Amino acid sequence: MFDTSIYKNRRAALRKKIQSGIILLLGNNEAPANYPDNTYVYRQDSTFLYFFGHSLPGLAGVIDVDANKDYFFGDDVTMDDIIWMGPQPSIKELGMQVGVRNSYSLKQLRKMIAEAVSKGRKIHFIPPYRFDHYLMIEELTGIRSSVVRQYASVELIKAIVALRSAKEPCEIEELDKAAHIGYLMHTTAMKMCKPGVKEQLISGALDGIASQYGSMVSFPTILTQHGETMHNHGHEALLEKGKLMLVDAGAESNTNYCSDNTRTIPVGGKYTPRQKEVYELVLACHDLALELAKPGITYQSVHLAVCKRLALGLKDMGLMKGNTDDAVAAGAHALFLPHGLGHMMGLDVHDMENLGQTYVGYDDEVRPSGQFGLASLRMGRKLQEGFVITDEPGCYFIPALIDKWRATGLHKDFLNYDAIDQYKDFGGIRIEDDILITKNGSRFLGTERIPAGVREIEEFMKNN
């Protein structure tokens, strides 16, 4: 947790952005894995964490905009709880730790919301993503769970996005800590990447590092020799010399701030000439994004510049043809890059995505596209100092997609399908780093850089 003043200031700032009514923020409950007492690893709701700080189940917070008061709700532990858990702070003590003087039981929460509803007061809540929250909002407000998302407060969503987008110094410090854990994870993967090693062994080691130095992984680890599959969570194969191992992994600090990095490394420690050529093209795209990203520039424009750099490189390799600008405008390059350049990051690895991506990554000036590839760009709006975003270009050769496009002749004026067919056994390459937008540009998070260049990676793997 941060200093008490941080949470008080955040709630005060939120109150100023909401005209009237009550803001209801629900903390997460524990979720049973296969029976009630055996639960999944607990993770608090990020919005609740941001404003009320506590990473414990069964809590809720209320900010009364009209009365200028904050409330903290939860039930004190029973003697049965103490037997199994030991002594625990009271709800009143927990509330005081985040600057809330008014702390009550969950029964009182139901009474407060019922009274507010009876008086016709506006109840602001964010879109739920857990079914118990759907049911609780229905119980509290009377809104049927089947339609509750339709009543989520857009005013509240926009206010939260405005507050959480630019990171405070205390948050940047935590993100740097998460980046350090990410460094340990990825350099460990490089050390273990040897022929005959099972993917699961490496994946498990990375997950263990995340738990040793922080709270957990920031998302399920992607570790695969089939990098052409964007989110490949299968870890059954043995590593084979000459193949590429793509590792997309990150950690959460103990205060739940995230890291998210990707490296694509050669099994056996050395890239083949063909792998090196594609890898260095992706690295050039990655470095171009880092060079262009700064306050006042839309990330959509950075994404498109990267797409043009990728298309130009593929043209030099004989895989694309024609005018590069026209090819990117038509979306032909998306055969090789079907995802966006990056996303916001903070308390969530895809920061605030539960609030609605159009509110987080876009605004009235920059709107999402419907074009294949560009439609998957999560972050397009104008960058500001304090934003933390990912820079993650890639180049993938997806056999099913290649076959589908070729069968219909899609973008045949820009794609050399005969040459592309020779890469259907290649896999995919992605390089990803987390960057902080600074006053005049950007910087990597963390004090250590995960090896990224071909020579750096080969030397690291040789010596470790």
Q: 318-333: per-residue pLDDT in tens?
A: 999 999 999 999 999 9
Q: Where are the alpha helices (DSSP H) in 393-448?
A: 399-408, 417-421
Name the average pLDDT for the chain. Answer: 97
Percentage of the chain exceeding pLDDT 70 = 100
Q: What ranges make up the beta strands (E) of 202-347?
A: 216-217, 222-224, 244-249, 251-252, 261-266
Q: For residue 309, what pLDDT is reported?
A: 98
Residue 62, CB half-sphere, CA atoms under 13 Å: how many? 26
Q: For residue 297, what pLDDT is reported?
A: 98
The widest CA-to-CA distance across the chain, in whole angstroms, is 74
Q: For residue range 209-238, what is the model confidence (pLDDT) as tens digits? A: 999 999 999 999 999 999 999 888 889 999
SS3 210: helix
- Closest of 326, 301, 339, 311 to residue 430, by C-alpha: 339
Q: For residue 233, what pLDDT is reported?
A: 83
| Contacts (Cβ under 8 Å, ≥6 apart) of 186 | 206, 247, 249, 261, 263, 450
Where in the chain are the domains? 4-165, 169-463
SS3 142: coil
Q: For residue range 29-46, what is the model confidence (pLDDT) as tens digits? A: 999 999 999 999 999 999
CA distance 316 to 268: 28
CB-based burial label for 221 (10 Å; 0-12, 13-18, 19+): buried
Tell me how far CA of residue 191 lies from CA of 134, 184, 226, 454, 459, in angstroms. 45, 11, 20, 15, 11
The answer regarding whether domain 4-165 maps to CATH 3.40.350.10 reads yes
- Quick one: CATH architecture of 169-463? Alpha-Beta Complex (3.90)
Residue 146 DSSP symbol: G
Pairing of strands 244-249, 222-224: antiparallel
Q: For residue range 354-394, what is the model confidence (pLDDT) as tens digits? A: 999 999 999 999 999 999 999 999 999 999 999 999 999 99
Q: For residue range 168-204, what is the model confidence (pLDDT) as tens digits? A: 999 999 999 999 999 999 999 999 999 999 999 999 9
| Contacts (Cβ under 8 Å, ≥6 apart) of 393 | 282, 285, 286, 289, 306, 310, 337, 341, 430, 431
Q: Residue 216's beta-bridge partner residues?
A: 252
Q: For residue 205, what pLDDT is reported?
A: 98
Residue 175, CB half-sphere, CA atoms under 13 Å: how many? 28
Q: For residue 232, what pLDDT is reported?
A: 86
Residue in the block written with tokens 């880092």: 290
Q: For residue range 135-165, what is the model confidence (pLDDT) as tens digits? A: 999 999 999 999 999 999 999 999 999 999 9
- Please state the length of the chain: 464
Pairing of strands 123-124, 244-249: unpaired
Angle between helices 273-292 and 299-316 (to 10 degrees): 150
Using CA atoms of 275, 276, 277, 281 in order, give the dihedral in degrees to the nearest 10: 100
Against a cut of 0.85, is the pTM above it?
yes
